[in-house]
Structures are given as C-alpha cells and as structure tokens.
Amino acid sequence: MSRNEKYCTMFEWLNNRSSLGQYMGESGAERPPDEEGEGIPRSDRIDIKEVDGQVRELREFAQGLLTDKIYLENEIGQLKKRSSRLEEELRHLRSPPFIIGNVQDVLDDDRAIVRSSNGTVFLVSRNRRLPEAELRPGTRVALNQDSLSIIDVLSDAHDPLVAAAEIIDTPGVDYDDMGGLDEQIERLKEAIELPLLKPEAFEEFGITPPKGVLLCGPPGTGKTMLAKAVATQTQATFLGMVGSELAQKYIGEGGRLVRELFDLARQRSPAIIFIDEIDAIGAKRLDAATSGDREVQRTLMQLLAEMDGFSEVPDVKIIAATNRPELLDEALLRPGRFDRIIEIPLPDEDGRKAILKLHLGNMPLEKGVKIKSLIDSTEGFSGAEIKALSLEAGIRAIKDGRKKVSSEDLSNAVEIVKKNRNKSSDSDQIHYG
C-alpha cells in the first residue's frame, strides 16, 4: 500500500468510527473500562498513543503537501514569465527589419529629414516618445521599413570597417628597420613627429604645423613602414585604411566612412591616419560618366572637407601613400592639406647596401659571399624585393639541410625575384612624373 493510500484509509477510518462515543462520555471524557476490561471487545479497543502518532504523521503529510503546492505555484509563475519572454522574442523575430539612416535636419516636433543607408533622402515622421534632444543632425536612427518613420535612436558606434582600422598595439616598427631612407625619414620627422612632440614650439613661432604628408613611390619602397615608424616614435594611435575601402558602392557611404574615420582619430588623439593607395578616391575630377565615378568624387570632397577641419585638432595628422601621384587631384596637393610631398624612389647603390646589411646581418653566410656583387645584381630592386630574396635564400638553405647560406643560394634567389617581376604585364608597370 502506498503512503497516500494509507493516509486515505486512516482518514476514512477516523470519519467512520462511530464507536468513539462508546469510550467517551457525552462531555468527551474517556470512560475507563472495568478492571478486567469486561464489556469492551478487544478488537474495538483504541490505542490512544497509536492514534496520536498517526495524527502527527497526517499533519506532517499535509504540511508536505502544502509545501509542494507552494513550490509548484512558484514553478508555474516562472514558466509563465519564460513563456511571456519567448512570445515577446518571437514577436520581435517576426517583425520587419529596420532601415538605418542619419538625421540631416529636424523640421518640427513631428517631422525630420533623414538619409537612408542607400543614400536616398526622405521627409519622415518621428515617434513622439523619442526625446527631442536626441534627434539632431548626424544622429543614427532606425526607420520603419514600410512607413520610414523614425522608430528609435541608435548609438553613435563607428562602422566596423572604420573600427577595424585602429591598430590597438604600437606598430612596433622603428626607423632602424629601414635602410637607405635617411633623407625621407628626416623630412617625415619634421612634418609629423616634431609637431606632435613639440606643439608649443610652433605656437611660439606663430606658424601652423603641417597637416599631412604624401608619400609617393613604387610599391615596396617602405611607405607603409615609414608611417608605422612615426606612430611608434610618437606613441600615437595608428589608423590605417586602404583607399579602395573608402570607395563604396552606395551613395553617401564613402563620405560617411571618411567622416567616421576622422571622428575616430579625434577621439583617439594624438593619432595618425594612414590612407594607402589614396589615388583610389583622390583621382582628378573629370566629367563623371557613371554613378560610381560620382560617388568617388563625393568621397573626395568629404576627404577635403575633413582635412580642412583639422586645424582645430593639431594632434591628428594624416599620411597618405600612392604609386601614381600624377593621377591625384590638384586640390589634394595644395599647401594646407598635404603640406609635404616626399618621394621615395627605388634604392640606389648605397640604399641597397644598407637594406642588404639589414636583412643579411643576422643570417649565417658561408665564406666567400660577396655583398658587392649582390648589390650590383639587385639594381632596380625595391626594399621589399631585397627582403624577399633574403627569405628565398634562407628557405633554400634550410630545405637542403645546410647551416649557412651560400652565394649560389643568393644568386638563385635574385633570379626568382626577377622572374616574379617579369610575370606582371606591361600594363601593370608604374610610371612616375
């Protein structure tokens, strides 16, 4: 018999026992039996202690049931809350997506002009529950896909592409890591490093420090390394982007990325913005034949506007690099924007010697390796190509199981690099003005 069945039987027995009155007086007092217990059948006698024990068990059982009831009620309440949350989440998942836009102007309490993410400008209504102070030009908002009304105000988080441009750690590149660029390094120090380290000196002399520097030269000559070296020396935040990343497909997207890039630089100042391949967005403005060309020109105009506004933030500098400076718009090259144009040519004999010494200095070389002949055979090589040949020579020695690099390894590496150069077509050759 189960516990519940036992207690149900006990309850039924107590309720149906009419003979209790046989042993209790009218007042409820117990009627004692005679000395010999005569007159009371043995089967009908009640053990009071046993009954009290059973009553206590029943009370404990009832208390347990009450506890279980309270627990189950709490459990039901938790399940109802969870069900409500799931229903709310399901409702959000079923709701249509929102369009991201930027407020351009607030006309009155009910209307505003916004530009959507695809560049289209709309006159829309706004949610009256939104604080009026939060709706100002430039604010990112969520628009209803159907009515285009302003639903919510979004945080001013930077675009992931812009946020990824920041190099959190120090670039870790030093001037000693580059050879044959002493003159270019000195000019770059004067234009970028000196104003960041000694701004008060420029104020004393009443002159405005340079805003930006343009590095031009063939690929692999060390333009990016120079920019990183300056950031390391000045302990400035380094923000690096490629010009093609700013050339966006949709109207207004390129300009927005430029604004956010410069805004991030102001927040992280002192900072250095490095734009590689700036000719992708800084080419000469011609009669635009396609919408893509017109969007690139809009991005260029935004870049010019941001550079003109840099006078308010002296501890933010811009360095740009290009392989084809002759393609750049004249508006970029005028003083006040790129104040210095530093040409970084292919290394001459002394430059190649310095670069080879830098890359072969820690490499075990066999006796008889002639650096002079290597310098002559690398004429026309960039710094990156000289680094590549040292890598190729080292790999060849390791592959053959040798402990040192031979002259043959270096000669073969030179030929490998030359073959890689010849693979490029004549259309890919770079010309400089």
Q: What is the pLDDT of residues 413-425, one digit of tens each?
A: 888 888 887 765 4
pLDDT surpassing 80 at residue 323 = yes
Mean pLDDT over 294-322 rounds to: 80
Query: Residue 127 has what pLDDT?
Result: 75
Per the structure block, which two tokens stand in for 189? 């120090």
Query: Is 123 in contact with 113 (CB distance < 8 Å)?
Result: yes
pLDDT tens column, 218-241: 888 888 888 888 888 877 888 888
The rounded distance, in Å, linking the Cα atoms of 35 and 12 is: 32
Structure tokens at 95: 């709701």
Residue 430 has pLDDT above 50, yes or no: no
pTM for this one?
Answer: 0.62
Give pLDDT tens digits for 141-177: 888 877 778 878 877 666 666 666 666 666 667 787 7
Neighbour-count burial of 194, counting CB atoms closer than 10 A to its CB (0-12 exposed, 13-18 middle, 19+ buried): middle
pLDDT score, position 432:
36
The domains of the chain are located at: 3-91, 98-153, 161-343, 349-428
Is residue 263 pLDDT above 60, yes or no?
A: yes
Q: What is the pLDDT of residue 35?
A: 46
3-state secondary structure (DSSP) of residue 271: strand
Q: Please tell me the predicted confidence (pLDDT) of residue 47.
A: 74
80 confidence band (pLDDT: 50, 70, 90): very high
pLDDT of residue 75: 92
CA distance 315 to 272: 9
Query: Does position 44 have pLDDT exceeding 70, yes or no?
Result: no
pLDDT digits (tens, 9 = 90+) for 350-400: 888 888 888 888 888 888 788 888 888 888 888 888 888 888 888 988 988
Indicate the class that CATH gives domain 161-343: alpha beta
- Specify the CATH number of the domain 349-428: 1.10.8.60
Candidates 2.40.50.140, 3.60.70.12, 2.40.110.10, 2.60.40.2130; CATH matching 98-153: 2.40.50.140
